[in-house]
Amino acid sequence: MGEPPVYRRVVVKLSGEYLAGSQSFGIDQPTIDRIAGDLIAASELGVEIAVVVGGGNIFRGVEVSSRGVSRPTGDTMGMLATVMNCLALESALSRKGKSSRTLSAFVMPQVCELFTRGAAHRYLAEGKIILLGGGTGNPFFTTDTTAVLRAAEIGAQAVLKATNVDGVYSADPKTDKTAKRFERLSHSQALAGGYKVMDATAFALARETSLPIIVFSIAEPGSIGAILSGNGTGTIVAG
């Protein structure tokens, strides 16, 4: 028998850019299939899983806003891109035999269901993975902040922030060989340090709601399950 999971309900935050794989744009099918497999394996540990996906592989509102589109319009376009990623991930999960539901902050009944806490609780209790698209439904908020907000709303015990590095470092480990990886940080230390792994609003909301954030690398297959079992490598931001 393996170790019981550390958490029973979590929000996994995936970057949209990671879904592009080695491409500069769009969705890399082998990558999204592998992530779907990792999510299914994690759910089989007995963990209820909600997923928040970014949209940067399809559209970045901040970038287009710098070229003349208003920031609220650009952010709305980016939020719609997150719904597209959720639908792609829902399809990948379905192909592997796992039932899931996309819930959006926007009303779009022909596409997916509206996010409500009641719907989220119901689907999680049924063993489904829920995919939370549309960001917060408001401009000026990132999908990192969305992940913390939704985690607080649905009573999740932690946010798992999947990145390209295995935790929070004192500097960029890809360019600074002396960069130190932190095993643990407080929310206040993460805010004061200005670490770029998550935005300040997300860290502040996590502090306000006493939600731990575990930062880990999604690059290794099985890493989500390893973190949930307490065997993975990552940085815990809590307290």
Query: Which of 23 and 105 is assigned the larger pLDDT?
Result: 105
**158-167 mean pLDDT:** 94
The DSSP code for 28 is: -
Picking from 27, 32, 44, 34, the residue whose alpha carbon sits closest to that of residue 225 is 44
**208-214 mean pLDDT:** 97
Length of the chain in residues, anyone? 239
pLDDT band at 203 (very low <50, low <70, confident <90, very high): very high
Which pLDDT belongs to residue 197? 84
Tens digit of each residue's pLDDT (9 = 90 or more) over 94-135: 999 999 999 999 999 999 999 999 999 999 999 999 999 999
Which pLDDT belongs to residue 66? 77
Which pLDDT belongs to residue 52? 98
Query: 161, 215 in Cβ contact below 8 A?
Result: yes
pTM for this one? 0.94
Which pLDDT belongs to residue 2? 58
Distance CA 177, CA 173 (A): 6
Tens digit of each residue's pLDDT (9 = 90 or more) over 45-74: 999 999 999 999 998 777 777 788 999 999
Percentage of the chain exceeding pLDDT 70: 99
pLDDT at 1 over 50: no
pLDDT band at 174 (very low <50, low <70, confident <90, very high): confident
pLDDT at 217 over 90: yes
Query: Which of 19 and 68 is assigned the larger pLDDT?
Result: 19
CA angle 114, 28, 231 (to 5 degrees): 80
Which pLDDT belongs to residue 17? 93
**8-17 mean pLDDT:** 96
Q: Which residues contact 164 (CB under 8 A, 6 or more apart)?
A: 18, 217, 218, 219
pLDDT at 92 over 50: yes
Residue 137 burial by Cβ neighbours in a 10 Å radius (0-12, 13-18, 19+): middle
**19-37 mean pLDDT:** 94
Residue 181 has a CB neighbour count (10 Å cut-off) of 15
pLDDT at 140 over 90: yes
Which pLDDT belongs to residue 142? 95
Delineate the domains of the chain, giving CATH numbers in brackets. 9-237 (3.40.1160.10)
pLDDT at 167 over 80: yes
Question: In the predicted model, what is the mean pLDDT of the chain?
Answer: 94
**Consecutive H or E run containing 171:** none
